[in-house]
Amino acid sequence: MQRNLEWQAFGDAEKGIPANNWFPDVESVTADDEAQTVTVVLTAPYAPFLNILSFWRTSLVADATIDATLEAQSQITGIIGSGPFFVESETYGKEIVFAKREGYDWAPPSLEHQGEAYLDQVIVIPVTEDSVRLGSLKSGEADLIRYIQPSEEAGLEAAGITVVGIQGAGNANVWDVRQSAPFVDDVNVRRALQHGIDRQQIIDDLYTGHWQVATSTVTPTTFGYVDLSAELAYDPDESNRLLDEAGWTELDAEGYRTKDGERLHLLTYVDVFDSTAKPLFQLVQWQLKKLGIELEIKETDYANYSTVLADPNVAVRRNGWPEADAWVRQTVNYHSGYSNLYAYAESDSTLDALYEAQGVATSDEERARIVGEIQRHVIDQGYGLPIIDDTQVFGIQPHVHDFGTTYEARPWFYSTWTEKK
C-alpha cells in the first residue's frame, strides 16, 4: 500500500513516470506493519482524497507493475491489480482476456458475494461498427455489448435482449465553449448559445427513456449537484435579444447573422468517443441555424481527434465523463493553471478560486456550497453548455445474470454469472 501511494504521489522520475495529477501534494507516506496502517500526510487539506483513492486510476497494483519500465506499464498486460480478475492476454486491436483470480477472497464486506468471481473469463472484443456489434449480440456470439444507438434499443428488446441504461455520477455531456475561437469570447454570444439549444427536443427526437436532459454541468447523483433547469431553459427570444445586443443584427443571403462583414460562424468536430454524437451535433446545428448561427461540423478519427481539437478556431467541443469525483476532473480541465479547456485569453480568477476552494474545504457542507457556485458560474458565463446526462447503455443476453456497474456506470463482472448456453 505504501509503495502504491508513493508511486501515485511522486511518480518515478528515473523511468519517466509522472505523478498522478489527480493526487494532492503529499508530504510523506509511512507504514506501520504491526498496526497494518498506512499514514499519508498532505501539505494542505484536500477534500476529494478519499474519492480519488476509490477511482480506477488509483487502483492497487503489484510490486512487479511499479518496478516495471514505463513501456511495460503502458501495456494492459503490465498492469497487475488486486481485483477478482487479472489480464491474461491481449491481442492488440482484437481482444483482451481477463481471467478469474484463483483464491480471491477480499471483496468489500458490504457485498453479499464473497470469494472468487463466478465467471472463469471475461473476453472483451473491440468492435467499432454498430451493425457488426449488434449482429454479434443477436446471433448469440456476444453475451453483452456496450454502446447501442437509441434507435436500436426497441429492436433488441423485441429480440429478447435486455437493454439496460445506467447513468453514472460525474460530469454531464457538456459542450465546452473555447474562447480562443472567433466570436465566443463575447459572453452574450455564449449566453445566446446556452438559451438557444432545445435540450428536450434532443431527447424527444433522438433518444429513449434511458436518457434525460442535462440540468447542470454534472449528473444528479454527483456530490454537490444543483438543479439549474431554469437557467438552461430553451428561450430563443432571449437568444435573439442577446445576439442583437452583441451587434449581430444583419443577416446574409443564407439567413446567418453578420457583423462588420463577418458571418457568425462556429467550428466543431463530432466527438469520436460518443456513439450517439453525430445526430446530436446535427440537431443542435439545425437549432442554432434558426437563430442565425452557423455551426460547421467536421469529422475525424480517433487517431487525429486530439490533434484537431488543438486548433484554437474550434469553438465548441464535447466533454464530460463519469468520475468518482467530478470536481477534480473539472479542476484539471478548466482551471487556468491546468488544462484551461475554456481557452480563456485572460483567466477567470473567480472560477479558479472556486476550484481551489472546493479542494481544500474541510466539510461536506462547505464543499457542496462551493461546487454549487461553480455550477452557477459556469452556466451563467456560458463556459459550458450542458446538453444531456450521458447514459451507458448495455445489451445483455437473457442467460447473463447479476451484471453490475460501478458508481461511475462502468461495467463490473464480479458477481455476474451465466447459464449454460
From first to last of its 421 residues, what are the pLDDT tens digits of the chain?
A: 999 999 999 999 999 999 998 899 999 999 999 999 999 999 999 999 999 998 888 999 999 999 999 999 999 999 999 999 999 999 999 999 999 999 999 999 999 999 999 999 999 999 988 899 999 999 999 999 998 999 999 999 999 999 999 999 999 999 999 999 999 999 999 999 999 999 999 999 999 999 999 999 999 999 999 999 999 999 999 999 999 999 999 999 999 999 999 999 999 999 999 889 999 999 999 999 999 999 999 999 999 999 999 999 999 999 988 888 999 999 999 999 999 999 998 999 999 999 999 999 999 999 999 999 999 999 999 999 999 998 999 999 999 999 999 988 999 999 999 996 5
Domains of the chain listed by start with CATH number: 1-64 (no CATH), 83-166+394-421 (3.40.190.10), 173-389 (3.10.105.10)
Q: 4-21 as b/e, with b when 16 or more CB fall inside 10 Å?
A: bbbbbbebbeeeebebbe
Q: How far is CA 181 from the centre of its chain?
A: 23
Confidence at residue 421, expressed as pLDDT on a 0 to 100 scale: 55
Cell readout for 302 is: 480517433
CA nearest to 387, candidates 165, 217, 205? 217
Cell readout for 348 is: 477567470
**Beta bridge partner(s), residue 174:** 319, 386
Which DSSP category does 18 fall into? P
Residue 138, amino acid: K
Confidence at residue 275, expressed as pLDDT on a 0 to 100 scale: 86
54 CB neighbour count, 10 Å cutoff: 13
Maximum separation of any 2 CA atoms in the chain, in Å: 79
**Residue 193 CB contacts under 8 Å (≥ 6 apart), including other chains:** 177, 184, 239, 288, 293, 316, 382, 385
Cα–Cα distance, 112 to 147 (Å, whole number) = 29
Cα–Cα distance, 222 to 368 (Å, whole number) = 10
Cα–Cα distance, 333 to 359 (Å, whole number) = 14
Q: Quick one: CA dihedral 309, 180, 289, 274, positive or negative?
A: positive
Cα–Cα distance, 214 to 227 (Å, whole number) = 9
Beta strands at 384-389 and 173-177: parallel, antiparallel or unpaired: antiparallel
Confidence at residue 128, expressed as pLDDT on a 0 to 100 scale: 85
Beta strands at 265-269 and 314-319: parallel, antiparallel or unpaired: parallel
**Residue 391 CB contacts under 8 Å (≥ 6 apart), including other chains:** 165, 166, 167, 210, 211, 409
CB 339 within 8 A of CB 347: no
Which ranges constitute the DSSP H helices of 361-412? Answer: 364-380
- How much is the pTM? 0.93
Q: For residue 92, count CB atoms less than 10 angstroms from its CB and return exposed for 0-12, middle for 13-18, buried for 19 or more.
A: exposed
**Beta bridge partner(s), residue 146:** 394
Confidence at residue 299, expressed as pLDDT on a 0 to 100 scale: 98
E strand or H helix that includes residue 349: helix 349-360
| Strand order from edge to edge, sheet including 212-213 | 212-213, 384-389, 173-177, 314-319, 265-269, 294-298
